[in-house]
Copies of this chain bind each other. A is one copy, B any other.
């Protein structure tokens, strides 16, 4: 487990200093650009460092220096494109602000235990702030850390009002879609509602769609999505019998399933059945012409990093901020045909 790496990685600040007949302090100043140092020696040092292949030891730097420039991100193991997209956006945004991101991916198997272990690993790095992008760890479990380090629940709604959070405005997404369908003239609408235990955000979307439709005086048909069944077949049945003219899915993946089922049953989309999704993250979603809401991933990442950086600078009041995406009107929805 021990690498006896050769040359360059063994070069230390002292080596560079000795090579130039300078002191380590001067080399240090040259490397991170702070402190008084003549432009000339600075150049010489940088040049020599490069020639010798000197790369400052990040652990030593962080141990010795006061300011912490690492952000911790706790991520749920997931193929979920929403999370992977979030990670890369956060990483890029943090980099832009000169912060390093250290990520710990936790598998969901072990209830709570893995998550807390992950948190501890992050704390070991003395991260300046913590972004928690998983719902597996409760607000309750987060509490003990709140006083010690900025914590931001990221990309997930947060029930605990003590915990600062910034998430997608899923209710808004749901309403964007219902508004879209209703304004197209649809009245007989089915909604796929995911079991909250399978996916909480999906459940929220479905539930709000249903509520909103009811508020508008409609009586949506509801199909439950669980681990066992996705409800799509049943919904398409209804479309086949012309009992519904629109089907609202909680994700684009499910929308694709619905599209496929409709196609197999020769139910024309969007002529006979309009179908909507939610996500907008699938590669090629634009080419596919899906009607959906695009999650504002980049925007969320920017806002999250900004928020956590702010609360590192000075404590902030916990707040539940959310960001809404935008409706993408594709070709899977159309005005209700009056036949």
Contact = CB atoms under 8 A, between A and B. Distances in A.
Interface of A: 1-3, 5-9, 55-63, 66-69, 75, 77-81, 84-85, 87-88, 91-92, 95, 100-105, 107, 120-121, 123-126, 128-129, 147-150, 230, 251, 253-254, 256-257, 260, 263, 281-284, 287-289, 312-313
Contacts of A126: 9, 57-59
Contact of A77 (B6, B88, B107, B149): B88
A115 to B, nearest CB: 13
Given A3-B149, A63-B59, A84-B88, A283 B69 contact: no
A103 B160 CA distance: 31
Given A2-B66, A6-B148, A282-B283, 4 more contacts: A3-B312, A78-B88, A79-B281, A256-B287
A101 B283 CA distance: 27
Nearest to A102: B102
Given A257-B284, A283-B79, A7 B67 contact: no
Most chain B CB atoms below 10 A, which of A81, A120, A230 = A81
A125 to B, nearest CB: 5
Per assembly, the copies of the chain total 2
A55 B92 contact: no
A68 B284 contact: no
B63 A128 contact: no
B230 A287 contact: yes
The main secondary structure of chain A at its interface with chain B is mixed
Contacts of A284: 253-254, 256-257
B288 A256 contact: yes
Contacts of A129: 3
A55 B254 CA distance: 43
Most chain B CB atoms below 10 A, which of A59, A120, A287 = A59
29 contacts: A1-B67, A1-B313, A3-B129, A5-B149, A6-B147, A6-B148, A7-B147, A9-B126, A9-B148, A55-B120, A57-B126, A58-B121, A58-B124, A77-B91, A78-B88, A79-B84, A79-B281, A81-B84, A81-B283, A84-B85, A91-B103, A92-B105, A100-B121, A102-B102, A253-B283, A253-B287, A256-B287, A256-B288, A282-B282
Contacts of A59: 58-60, 62-63, 125-126
Contacts of A289: 260
Contacts of A81: 79, 81, 84, 283
Given A57-B126, A147-B6, A148-B7, A80 B283 contact: yes
B124 A57 contact: yes
A147 B8 CA distance: 10
Contacts of A103: 91, 101, 103
Given A56-B124, A79-B81, A81-B84, A67 B9 contact: no
B8 A148 contact: yes
A251 B287 CA distance: 13
Given A283-B80, A283-B81, A284-B253, A123 B55 contact: yes
